[in-house]
Structure 1
């Protein structure tokens, strides 16, 4: 299915190159709705930006640039004339800030343009669902222009925006992860109840035990590497309080009152949420004071560590999940129905099956137009809010790649503000999850089904 969605997204990208390319590519692709293909295209754009930002952090890139003739302090044969460029500005954390600055502004501009769009019949729908070549050129031009911004207070000022935006995206990511946990458990429990197969029961048990085992292992490692027998009291407090909170949340998930209103809630959701809370705790402690952050000596500013890699993997998964997923019953509790796309007017949220279409006419049109318009009577998601989320996601990428600290500061992971941002988000994660458990019991008159 992932390959099919990739082909669908590639087909829409090819459509910007001309009718011939479009017909040749789209004829080999499965049909899909424009609400899905557009979201995948913007996700692809953000992935490309992330790769470009990662390239600027590649170890040894700055020394390699010194071999370029037109760079200042070049070790190769210099070019004639006075054309010299400070190539050091093209690498490192400051380069990541510039790339993400331009990309974030692009999504903010798109959010402003899409305010008030109600259906694909709006003249602005073409801007949302097409002109991909122009959009990429705008983003590339913006990134190039961002490198001409004087350093001055740019880094320290943009870091504040990055921390606020990154925190907001973490909250959105929390909602998606909680929704994923509920959806996963509901699906597997439903399969077990329908088939009464021991295989599904074993899979549920194995997944739950694996997540809890990883959670416990993470807690132990945090105590080992991020605390000391004497000192690091704040780190000990963070680890201990989060351990207590995940135990409480797990206990709440199996209370009789909760099971009465949500018979499919259980320890599988709790284990997934607990594992993510441990990751957030680890990420927060990485910005603790030097003697407590588990880092010995100075690290290379342009290298990647495990925290960055895991953070980016979680980000990619959440972005793909939000792009391909449509809102379901669990979304009413997790509030993710404001983030995920609603089902299309024809009940189609993703790929269109030409052989089993709603009727012959729809199937015939799907064969001609591989990207089917399912938003003629109303948008499947808020286009403006979608771009706001992607702007925040860009800031989250920026802060993750730069380890949440000012690139112009001394080479240190210490950042008290970042530590509190991430530890607070871990508490919000547990609070949000507990709310999804108790909400049906607290408000029995509301329909959460």
Structure 2
């Protein structure tokens, strides 16, 4: 028993303090690809950062900090020389500082991993191991970020946050389009193979549900974000996006599109339409107060419904990019740069191919196997860039894309235009995935 515990302790010590890959996240699996284990560990790091940032926004935390003796506004008897301003440890500015340190960590990792071609590179150990040290670096960076003078830090970092958040929205919609295509292809394939009415009913029900939610969303947007007199810009956004999703849905069932992509159809269009309506809602939530149903006049309003949905979509996108291998649509959606290559780690990148593990003995020896000896399964540099952008997006989402000042307001014209522009890009990119095989017949999109 002691020997077993010793081996486990040694393995986890190598995972945390050495260059060995971590198998904690795949302990329930028969075997796990090194690339998948690493991506899941970085995902866990990002999710933990998000949780910490959410804690700083917890209602009542500001009042509780007044009871801490070393806080400047505390009534406890502590010498003034030892007191600090605890107001910086909570609220939107705290989220900015936490995400600032996390974003810098991923940017640093992106720079370190430039040019890595395989796990034989000496830098592979930094990518796949030293997890304890990495977490200490992130924690130290977050603590250090709270010592940055306020000055113009928030206003400057908000500009970076908006630019990075917009870039991640583009990446997120690429992942959603890839998910929609993969979902439809899997269910259509199951229906064609089994001729089961169950799969056909599931396809029809999913498509109708997404379109019903989209139509409901459009009606609610007209009710809550427009008025009979005025709000012309809001009316234009809603009407224009409605026209775009109708056009995209019509294109998806054109004979020329069906000829090159027999499995493209209304299910993908329904998913994209629903996401476009969410982006429209999110944009209108930052519109002028007289046309904004979410505007209550409360300057310290924190997390709202559209931000909560955005958080759920963000979590889905990050996890999807970590466990999903690239589909055949990746050549069109460019997600082969985000997702691992097909076959790099077995089905879905989680479970290894039994013939490639060296037999039963090989699977007993290790939970994690190296699948990047000849070539990396994904771009390590681009992966860290995506996670840096994801950090900026979650920063802006948790702060509702507001201006992080003492006069918080839901009105933010810059974020409104960023989100509405991203909705147009979403439709454009989806239409491109439909027409690309027909427009460029010489290219192989299979």
- State the TM-score, normalizing by the size of structure 1: 0.92
Residue in structure 2 matched with residue 386 of structure 1 by the alignment: 383
1:375 corresponds to 2:379: no
1:153 corresponding residue in structure 2: 152
* Equivalence for 1:54: 54
* 1:413 equivalent in alignment to 2:410: yes
Matches within 5 A, 1:167-182: 167-182=166-181
Change (3 A) 1:189 1:95: same
Check 1:256–1:81 CA distance in 2 against 1; reply closer, same or farther (3 A cut): closer
Q: How does 1:77-92 map to 2 (within 5 A)?
A: 77-80=76-79, 82-92=81-91
Looking at structure 1, the residues matched to 253 and 232 of structure 2 have their Cα atoms a distance apart, in angstroms, of 32
Flag the 1:23–1:381 CA change in 2: closer, same or farther, 3 A.
closer
Partner of 2:70: 70
Deviates more, 1:424-433 or 1:356-365: 356-365
Contact persistence 2:114–2:381 (CA under 8 A): yes
**CA pair 344-131 structure 1, distance change in 2 beyond 3 A:** farther
Gaps of 5+ in 1: 1-10
Q: Does 1:235 align with 2:234?
A: yes
Provide, for residues 192-225 of structure 1, a one-character-per-residue CA deviation record: whole Å limited to 9, x for no partner.
0110000000000000000000000000110111
d(CA) in 1 for partners of 2:34 and 2:116? 15
The farther-off stretch of 115-124 and 28-37 is: 28-37
- Runs of 4+ more than 6 Å apart: 11-14, 22-28
1:70-96: CA deviation from partner (whole Å, max 9, x where unpaired) = 111214x32245311111000111110
What is the alpha-carbon distance in structure 2 between the residues aligned to residue 119 and residue 333 of structure 1? Answer: 25
**Contact 2:303–2:399 (8 Å) recurs in 1:** no
Q: Partner residue of 2:272?
A: 273
- 1:401 is matched with 398
Partner SS state of residue 407, structure 1: coil
Distance 1:346 1:50, change over 3 A: closer
Return the offset for 1:303. Answer: 2.9
8 Å contact from structure 2 (residues 116, 380) kept in 1: yes
Q: Write the distance in 1 (CA, Å) between the matches of 2:38 and 2:263.
A: 34
- Per-residue deviation at 1:410? 1.9
Secondary structure in structure 1 of the residue aligned to 2:32: strand
Count residues with an aligned counterpart. Answer: 434
CA contact (8 A) 1:344 1:374 kept: no
1:4 aligned residue: none
Query: For 2:445 and 2:12, how far apart are their aligned partners in 1?
Result: 36
Q: Which residue of 2 aligns with 1:201?
A: 200
Structure 2 gaps of 5+ residues are: 1-10
- 1:282 deviates by 0.4
CA RMSD of aligned residues (A): 2.1
Contact 2:36–2:345 (CA<8 Å) still a contact in 1? no
Give the TM-score normalised by structure 2: 0.93
